[in-house]
């Protein structure tokens, strides 16, 4: 497929194709492995997505940072812990189906189809389509199409790593007065009374798909995360000890990022009938 002038294909390492976007509205990088948006920097701003300097770029491995696509399960597999964390979509090579540019930005569409390798992990026939629009805003949508003869359920997340100047000064707005599943330690249902601030590990599944605003005084900016087709918002920061345990993340990296994820997890898993489809979307803007 021919690429528009603002997209170039190169190999970050041999055998690891990435698309680099240089457009009037933004610069960006997207890996074919996982259809993974690694970087997005709107013109005139510093990077919005956090990408770990120790991220491992290897076919079949997830990338620490950017937007991993977690699908068709979220976190550990519900009944088989030997299966990959957060599903297999982020570990598979996707196929680029469309790439175009306009004054507003660049659009890229990727597809992942069921095959012998996915059948070993998940028995269903499917197509997953990831559409990425990179411009002054970042718009990512994941469509699940059920090509099986029976219904299936998917849990999913657009696991967005947002760069922040200093996590201790960040406030996340938009989730006050909601219920969440706290997954640090024993899984416990809790009520969120005010806005979210950070002074310890946070790993929460909010029962809300509403718009979230991340206020970041250290970088002097506010990030807005809009979501559609999402019944869960995951908020995650590993804090000190978990950062040390994650081999592809510097020990002190937790100061500099926060994950706000459009998701469908827990009771919000999505059942897709045969021939049916479901779309989850996140739109990030400054």
Ligand X SMILES: O=P(O)(O)OC[C@H]1O[C@@H](O)[C@H](O)[C@@H](O)[C@@H]1O
Which 182-241 residues touch ligand X, going by CB under 6 A? 183, 203, 234, 236
* b/e map 6-34, b = 16+ CB within 10 Å: bbeeeeeeeeebbbbbebebbbbbbbbbb
Minimum CB distance to ligand X smaller for 23 or for 36? 36
To the query of whether residue 159 is one of the catalytic residues in this protein, the response is: yes
Task: Give the residue ranges of DSSP H helices in the chain.
Answer: 116-121, 239-245
Cα 186 from chain centre: 25
Tokens of 199: 């002074």
Name residue, tokens 């100061």.
255
Q: How far is the CB of 265 from ligand X (least distance, A)?
A: 9
Tokens of 235: 């908020």
Minimum CB distance to ligand X smaller for 26 or for 263? 263
> Using CA atoms, how far apart are residues 234 and 113, in angstroms rounded to an integer?
26
Residue selected from 23, 36, 77, 86 as contacting ligand X according to rule CB under 6 A: 86
Q: How far is the CB of 168 from ligand X (least distance, A)?
A: 20
Q: How far is the CB of 64 from ligand X (least distance, A)?
A: 7
**Marked catalytic residue, from 23, 86, 129, 159:** 159
| Closest residue by beta carbon to ligand X | 85
> Using CA atoms, how far apart are residues 104 and 63, in angstroms rounded to an integer?
28
Q: How far is the CB of 147 from ligand X (least distance, A)?
A: 27
Site of interaction with ligand X (CB under 6 A)? 62, 75, 85-86, 159, 183, 203, 234, 236, 259, 261
């Amino acid at each position: 497929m021919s690429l528009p002038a603002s997209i170039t294909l190169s190999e970050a390492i041999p055998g690891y194709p990435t698309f680099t976007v240089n457009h009037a509205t933004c610069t960006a990088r997207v890996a074919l492995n996982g259809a993974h948006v690694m970087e997005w920097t709107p013109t005139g701003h510093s990077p919005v997505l956090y990408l770990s300097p120790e991220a491992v770029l290897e076919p079949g491995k997830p990338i620490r940072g950017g937007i991993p696509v977690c699908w068709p399960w979220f976190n550990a597999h519900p009944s088989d812990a030997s299966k990959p964390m957060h599903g297999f979509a982020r570990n598979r090579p996707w196929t680029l189906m469309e790439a175009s540019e306009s004054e507003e930005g660049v659009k890229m569409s990727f597809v992942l189809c069921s095959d012998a390798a996915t059948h070993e992990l998940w028995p269903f026939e499917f197509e997953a389509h990831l559409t990425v629009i990179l411009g002054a805003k970042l718009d990512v949508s994941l469509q699940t199409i059920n090509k099986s003869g029976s219904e299936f359920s998917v849990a999913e997340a657009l696991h967005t790593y947002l760069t922040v100047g200093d996590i201790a000064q960040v406030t996340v707005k938009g989730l006050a007065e909601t219920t969440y599943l706290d997954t640090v330690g024993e899984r416990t249902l809790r009520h969120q009374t005010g806005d979210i601030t950070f002074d310890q590990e946070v790993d929460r599944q909010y029962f809300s798909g509403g718009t979230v605003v991340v206020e970041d005084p250290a970088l002097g900016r506010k990030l807005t995360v809009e979501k559609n087709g999402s019944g869960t918002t995951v908020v995650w920061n590993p804090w000190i000890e978990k950062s040390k345990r994650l081999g592809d993340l510097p020990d002190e990296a937790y100061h500099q990022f926060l994950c706000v994820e459009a998701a469908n997890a827990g009771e919000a898993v999505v059942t897709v009938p045969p021939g049916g489809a479901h779309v989850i979307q996140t739109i990030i803007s400054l």
